[in-house]
Structure 1
Amino acid sequence: MPTTNPLVVGHRGAAAVRPENTISSFVRGVADGADVIEFDVHLSADDRVVVIHDPTLDRTAVAGRTSGAVRDLTWPQLQDAELADGERIPTLRDALETITTPIQLEIKAPAAARPAAELALAAGVADRVTFISFRLEALEAVRAVDPGLALGVVTSRPTADKLATVDDLGADMFSVEIPHLDRALVAELQRRGVRVCAWTALTESDVRAAVDVGADLLAADDPGWCRSVLEAAAHPTG
């Protein structure tokens, strides 16, 4: 049985309590005790690396410009999109300047990989960033910028192909949906020096499952809640 709790990863900041992937969400995630902040990036039409999960505005924009593909819109046009609570889409630079914890930077669009890596290096924060993606070509592009940058492979299920990708890249982290992790897999990855991140904890049973398999990190939309569940499990009363 694991003797330590996983580190808490604020998924898209604190997406359950603040608009996801916004500066206020990152600030809230850190304030609520996240050890790591995770967020997503795409590339705009004028080659700005911007923080947004989806390839379009349609789901998260609530006023102003409420539709359109991120890659087809310039930075000024993206700023016309109003998110919940009056928030706006941040740039990667904004995020890196705001977040004080380690970061999981998820590359959604492979075109954003190289500029994201270059920006993190230029900002002097690359040593606390793990570049993660479902897309092999995105991780290969990061590795081409600097072989020393930390990489993480993201997948729903730990297939043979994805596990081979971890080995081929020399990835530092493997990020897998909670239901598809087991103790033997986690222990084997850790033996090979690969950290395991379980995602995404939405219920207490999710948290318990991640602890039971020995995950190194646990992503949650509400990092404050996740930390409280972990602490309660570690110090039961009665």
Structure 2
Amino acid sequence: MTIKIIGHRGNGRTTETPFAEGKAPQQTLLSFIQAIENGAEGVEFDVFLTRDQIPVVIDKDMAFGHIISEMDCVDVQRILLPMGQRIPTLRDTLILLSGINESREDMDDLFINIELKGPNVVKPTMNVVDGVAALYRLKKDTIYYSATDRQKLSDVRMRDAYANIQPTILTMELFAPEKVHQPGYYVSPRTAYNKAALGDLRQYIRDMDCCAIDVPTTDIRPQLIETANDLGVGFCTHPSGPRRFVDCEKTYNALTMLYQYAAKSGRTVAFKVDDIAAGRTVVNAASNQNKAPVPMLERAMGTLFI
């Protein structure tokens, strides 16, 4: 078992980032196609509801000068994005990904990470998943639900006892707030986890039968790896914060631990990145336990942070 490279918002962000050249707008059908063509083993995307309760793939309710939750889906889909793209519905996205899966033959099915955003999103989202699974051979066990709001994941579990759920853990939850420095949620590598928060996470994972922990890569320490091993879960992780050398080092060290954990335990570890090739470079270096030349790592790391 190795680390899966997952395209964040498809082929990576195209807003608030200097690394958008040649990329389709984030979270569009073309962006998902680009990510997979670039070698991603899955994609991550966010889901909000329109006014008429249709799940659409977008990371913010306020987007492109419009408030998505105050518009019907037909009007949302009239918004024209660069490269002729539109804001896709969840249904169209899952149909696309299920079709790609069928064309991959001897390859593993794509890892599909749905981040649940906005109010009342769970039931409509899961209705769409069930419908596409019934008609288009979408395998529901390839879908992994993430959310910072644990009630959303509890609602997923109530609906489907077998759904893959992974709580998204924020830096401010794992560490005492006074230990988290802004900008960029920086925490010293010597800072210990908040014991109460870690205990609460352990209990939630047990109670909800979670499959993984969704956590910033720079926040992963040996104690969290041990916790995951004790609970029998994997990781879904993502770089975050400013592009500082210390964050590159922390990310590399965490990936080294994650690679060893995946190889030894056989559990899934997914690494969500904005640049597929850079993600592969860093993971390969970490898996070989032999650092690439520092300039190469810095260049690769510089395109990863989300």
Q: TM-score normalised by the shorter chain: which range applies?
A: 0.7 to 0.9
SS at match of 1:217: strand
Higher helix share: 2
From 121, 128, 133, give the equivalent of 2:147.
133
CA apart distance, 1:204: 5.4
Q: List per-residue Cα deviations over 1:51-101 (Å, max 9, x = no partner).
A: 0001211xxx2xxxxx23221110122123222333210000111111231
Give secondary structure in 2 for the equivalent of 1:45: coil
Q: Which letter maps to 1:164?
A: Q
The structure-2 alpha-carbon separation of the partners of 1:192 and 1:51, relative to structure 1 and needing over 3 Å to count, comes to same
Matched, 1:44 2:50: yes
> Which protein has the larger Cα radius of gyration, Structure 1 or Structure 2?
2
- 1:77 equivalenced with 2:116 (yes/no): no
Whole-angstrom CA distance in 2 between matches of 1:180 and 1:207: 9
> In structure 1, the residue corresponding to 2:120 is in which secondary structure?
helix
Provide the alpha-carbon RMSD of the alignment: 2.3
Report % sequence identity.
Answer: 24
Name the aligned partner's letter for residue 14 of structure 1: N
TM normalised by structure 1 equals: 0.85
Report deviation, 1:232: 4.7
- Structure 1 residues 122, 177: CA separation in 2 closer, same or farther (over 3 Å shift)? same
Instruction: Report the secondary structure of 2:239's partner residue.
Output: strand
Contact 1:8 1:218 in 2 (8 A): yes
Gaps of 5+ in 2: 14-22, 102-109, 175-196, 260-268, 294-306
Q: Deviations over 1:200-227 (max 9, x none)?
A: 2678546513312316221101122211
Which secondary structure state, in structure 2, belongs to the residue aligned with residue 226 of structure 1?
helix
Verify: 1:195 aligned to 2:239, yes or no. Answer: no
The alignment status of 1:209 with 2:242, answered yes or no, reads no
Kindly report which structure 2 residues correspond to 1:1-238, keeping only aligned pairs within 5 A, or say none. Answer: 5-16=2-13, 17-57=23-63, 61=64, 67-99=65-97, 100=101, 101-124=110-133, 125=138, 126-157=140-171, 158=174, 159-160=197-198, 161-200=200-239, 205=249, 207-214=251-258, 216-234=269-287
Q: Tell me the number of residue pairs that the alignment of Structure 1 and Structure 2 aligns.
A: 227
Higher fraction of strand? 1
* Worse overlay, 171-180 or 188-197: 188-197
CA distance in 2, matches of 1:148, 1:78: 32
TM-score, scaled to structure 2: 0.68
Change (3 A) 1:71 1:217: same
Q: Distance in 2 between matches of 1:110 and 1:140?
A: 14
Q: Is the 8 A contact 1:118 1:145 kept in 2?
A: no
Work out the CA distance in 2 between the residues paired with 1:109 and 1:227. 32
Give the Cα separation in 2 of the matches to 1:220 and 1:209.
16
User: Structure 2 counterpart of 1:105, which letter?
Assistant: I
Tell which has more relative contact order, 1 or 2 (C-alpha 8 A, sep 6+).
1
